[in-house]
Structure 1
């Protein structure tokens, strides 16, 4: 025999029994450490189930907890028993009760026999390890960690802050250079016995008892003292997500695990019956003879991490609600926002729908109700026209609308009388195309029958809202495609900006407009603006309208230069 397995078990004892029996019946002695928190009855049944195997032994039990010295102590106790009980063991593999052999044991034994002096343990200095999570890399060796991170989080964090503030640093034992790596190693008998029998072991143990997560650094550091023949990699495939939590393998990962050519994988779901039955079978056809290469599947895991952290563009759902700024794009597809066009043109919405072949809504963020196209009360994805429901989360409303209508361009109206909570969302969304005719909100006031004092107050209020909105659109944070015209500039030459907007949307029709919406009458509008000035309100967003020279609706004959080449 040349390979012994030290197995750390804390749950799923049925699967652990199956794995221990698999190793043992294929010539690999097993020493099992069972967490002391496992109840006595369950432990007794587990021991009894493996009592027919002479090469399976059980070590003294420790109460184990993640991130603490207890895991190292458990591996030390079991390893000592392994070296004492099985003199023929040349390599010792540390595994857990959820580590599943992916290739025949005979193939792994042959691989190790070809490398009798090689230690397989991931061991890198803190400067070379990019995967530490939680802000503690070098500090895990220079601070003290007497409190459990899982059970006493506030004490743990508070004591770390106190040590940082006091400038406390522990002295690292002479001759040690801290290294980090995976806790799942395969060491030669010579190296492992040197670690366990070192005269300075008491000093090293005392130091590492106050290191954070010592099972990722104890053997990884000490092995450098006793061996120069080190392969800094693990024979056990273990993958971690962006939070440092291990990926769990399920039945649908069968082909993925086979592709890796690794000898062992963790962490396998206890109920993955297909994985256990496939890899614990006696089918010799799965023998590959290939070098373990987890890099073959790294791309898949990288994409999985990206999908989990960023998600799909414009998709936010209960199961993956990202922090602000973590979302992968606000919306899923391009859309268009028109501000002031409904006020300036008659029947603008049906005209735009004919011109671009898109879904054209009214004011989706109107204070009274959501004005869906066709005045629908419900829209795709069971979206309600209720303003109260929409205003619970306006950004989510917009995101849902665009996601639910992927493949169809959405256009809607917006203005200063609408809810402004979505202003920054629109401005920062690269998918948004925003076209603004400033001051057009004054046209409904111009045609209204209100008292002029009321008109002046409302005009001042709406101008302040639109001014703030324009400031947002012109800010350095804006990422939307934004075009802004004053009302005076727009009505002086309406066809050119209309053509520009239609071209950006991507009209399904001809390249030049053959039909234009009818502009509302502007007779007397210049005098109306002058009256506002006379009442003490300065209407500056409309542009320059000279009194007595009011532009009227553009005549059909005046459009012809834009309609023909």
Structure 2
């Protein structure tokens, strides 16, 4: 007894010829179906090249198209010819021209001989199938699909929509329970002949001609009627990506294919010369008495799918630029944003860099230039301080900066005078630590000697921008670690919030912070705010700031002694 091989060939006829001769060299008869879409000249040449091999036959040709009945008709014709011409076969194995045996053919023959009554065909009900892609599970069996999904996609979708709206459904033939699974099966002679010689075959064929992707359901469903022992798995290694497209195996997948212990793999790239040399030229002729186990490499494919769909956290590139909110992490590592601190404290960047060891930038999104740490004009990743280049894509500028400096904490200043296009990015980024002293933007205005009418107009605009920014930070969609203080409440006790910020960054200190950075002189600032009010501009973001604030960090008066009797 031996195994009959059915080959559905569409392209790469030279590789199909090589594979067919490999099967017959081991004594397996082969029936080849060549897609009717292949030109007559190419088919005749292919047929002549194989005419010297008595174990190779060609079946009636059908036009094959993905998702259409032609693939099932081609399989039926090839199977009928195989059963009629080869009486000594125990199983029939369906393959394609792009399939390749991974183990010696005798291994497969011995394996099937040990299971003479077992049908190896992936067959599961629609409720148990997690891999369908396209939104049509049960509907593929209850609707009609007269239009090609690939050639007439618009008509296909329109007709599906009409059937849904009008609740048009067709009846599944009595006795059939629709099953689905891989197209690549290995059936016993008894089961396959029962399917092809069924008295109800014409009725079943008529029904499945209107099913979507019938090659994944026809034999999978009918095998359940006649098989006494279905092993619901395929002996062919066939992996699919998240879009339902088959993975293609190349030369660098050699060790991966060896580890699978599967008998056959699909789909092999026609130009994978190394794979064809190793598996078809006898270099892997040593047999294995191991069970096919594609699960051993499932983890690698799952990781590949995750990398393909999600990418690496915080990495954006031209080959994979995700849709908004589809990214796997907005940025790749934690960073800190300070709003109002450099305005309130003198030389804040230098102090914070010494206190934390982080790289502290000025206002990265300032109107004139990106104020990179140390006055640099360029930073890791060739990121320039040019405002024009930065503002071409501010989001990409920030994510690139964090990616290219990963391993080092990045800190930068931000405010209402800066480019606000990254406001939502900062708010929705879980890696961002945002500390805000609202209203501190008024301090530089207070220090300037400008026309008060101009100061009033600029203050009103800055307050409007910051107010809108604070609404974003307080949104229910914000995921960053956000702390907001009004300027009035912050200057009452600046040590506590600074210590909290340092602790959150993870700075290890022998003792708690004893001295805050030097605060700018705010004498007269309260009166400045009052003047803005008098001119009709109400500076409410500073909080309840007194006209004459008490000196910062002034020692509290000693408590009066009291006696308890």
Q: Does TM-score exceed 0.5, indicating one fold? A: yes
| Number of the residue aligned with 1:485 | 485
Residue deviations 1:458-506, cap 9 Å, x none? 2222112111211211222111111111111111112222222122223
8 Å CA contact 1:262–1:293 kept in 2: the answer is yes
User: Unpaired segments of 5 or more residues in structure 2?
Assistant: 557-565
Query: d(CA) in 2 for partners of 1:217 and 1:542?
Result: 69
Structure 2 residue 362 is matched with structure 1 residue 347:
no
| Number of the residue aligned with 2:45 | 45
CA shift at 1:99, angstroms? 0.9
Pairing 1:230-241 to 2, within 5 Å after superposition: 230-241=230-241
Q: 1:256 to 1:511 in 2, by over 3 A?
A: farther
Report SS of the residue matched to 1:4: strand
What is the TM-score normalised by the length of structure 2?
Answer: 0.95
| Number of the residue aligned with 2:561 | none
Report SS of the residue matched to 1:426: helix
Query: d(CA) in 1 for partners of 2:99 and 2:511?
Result: 64
| Number of the residue aligned with 2:417 | 417
Q: 1:336 to 1:116 in 2, by over 3 A?
A: same
Structure 2 residue 476 is matched with structure 1 residue 476:
yes
Residue deviations 1:20-72, cap 9 Å, x none? 00001101000011111112222222112211110001111111111100111
Pairing 1:328-347 to 2, within 5 Å after superposition: 328-347=328-347
Query: d(CA) in 1 for partners of 2:148 and 2:261?
Result: 37
CA shift at 1:368, angstroms? 2.2
Query: d(CA) in 2 for partners of 1:456 and 1:488?
Result: 20
| Number of the residue aligned with 2:174 | 174
Pairing 1:133-532 to 2, within 5 Å after superposition: 133-283=133-283, 286-507=286-507, 510-513=510-513, 516-532=516-532
| Number of the residue aligned with 1:537 | 537
| Number of the residue aligned with 2:71 | 71
Tell me which moved more, 31-40 or 532-541: 532-541
| Number of the residue aligned with 1:128 | 128
CA shift at 1:509, angstroms? 6.0
CA shift at 1:296, angstroms? 1.1
8 Å CA contact 1:521–1:552 kept in 2: the answer is no
Query: d(CA) in 2 for partners of 1:255 and 1:48?
Result: 35
Residue deviations 1:378-426, cap 9 Å, x none? 2211212222322222221111110011111111000011111111111
| Number of the residue aligned with 2:559 | none
Query: d(CA) in 1 for partners of 2:158 and 2:325?
Result: 29
Query: d(CA) in 2 for partners of 1:553 and 1:446?
Result: 18
8 Å CA contact 2:494–2:516 kept in 1: the answer is no
Query: d(CA) in 2 for partners of 1:79 and 1:278?
Result: 29
Report SS of the residue matched to 1:361: strand
User: Unpaired segments of 5 or more residues in structure 1?
Assistant: 559-565
Query: d(CA) in 1 for partners of 2:546 and 2:123?
Result: 79
Structure 2 residue 1 is matched with structure 1 residue 4:
no
| Number of the residue aligned with 2:87 | 87
Report SS of the residue matched to 2:421: coil
| Number of the residue aligned with 1:17 | 17
Q: 1:285 to 1:23 in 2, by over 3 A?
A: closer
Report SS of the residue matched to 1:541: helix
8 Å CA contact 1:357–1:508 kept in 2: the answer is no
Residue deviations 1:334-373, cap 9 Å, x none? 1110100111111111222222111111111112222212
Q: How many aligned residue pairs are there?
A: 556
8 Å CA contact 1:100–1:265 kept in 2: the answer is yes
Could you say what the CA RMSD is over the residues aligned between the two structures, in angstroms? 1.6
Query: d(CA) in 1 for partners of 2:383 and 2:343?
Result: 26
Query: d(CA) in 1 for partners of 2:91 and 2:384?
Result: 66
8 Å CA contact 1:356–1:509 kept in 2: the answer is no
Query: d(CA) in 2 for partners of 1:299 and 1:511?
Result: 47
Q: 1:276 to 1:554 in 2, by over 3 A?
A: same
Query: d(CA) in 2 for partners of 1:6 and 1:320?
Result: 39
CA shift at 1:554, angstroms? 4.9
Query: d(CA) in 2 for partners of 1:253 and 1:95?
Result: 20
What is the TM-score normalised by the length of structure 1?
Answer: 0.95
CA shift at 1:514, angstroms? 5.8
Query: d(CA) in 2 for partners of 1:361 and 1:60?
Result: 73
Report SS of the residue matched to 1:532: helix
8 Å CA contact 2:495–2:515 kept in 1: the answer is no
Query: d(CA) in 2 for partners of 1:483 and 1:286?
Result: 66
8 Å CA contact 1:519–1:554 kept in 2: the answer is no
Query: d(CA) in 2 for partners of 1:66 and 1:367?
Result: 55
Residue deviations 1:432-463, cap 9 Å, x none? 11111111001111122222222222222211
Query: d(CA) in 2 for partners of 1:141 and 1:393?
Result: 48
Residue deviations 1:61-112, cap 9 Å, x none? 1111111001111111111111111111111000001111111100100111
8 Å CA contact 2:277–2:283 kept in 1: the answer is no
CA shift at 1:515, angstroms? 5.4
Query: d(CA) in 2 for partners of 1:275 and 1:511?
Result: 64
Tell me which moved more, 65-74 or 40-49: 40-49
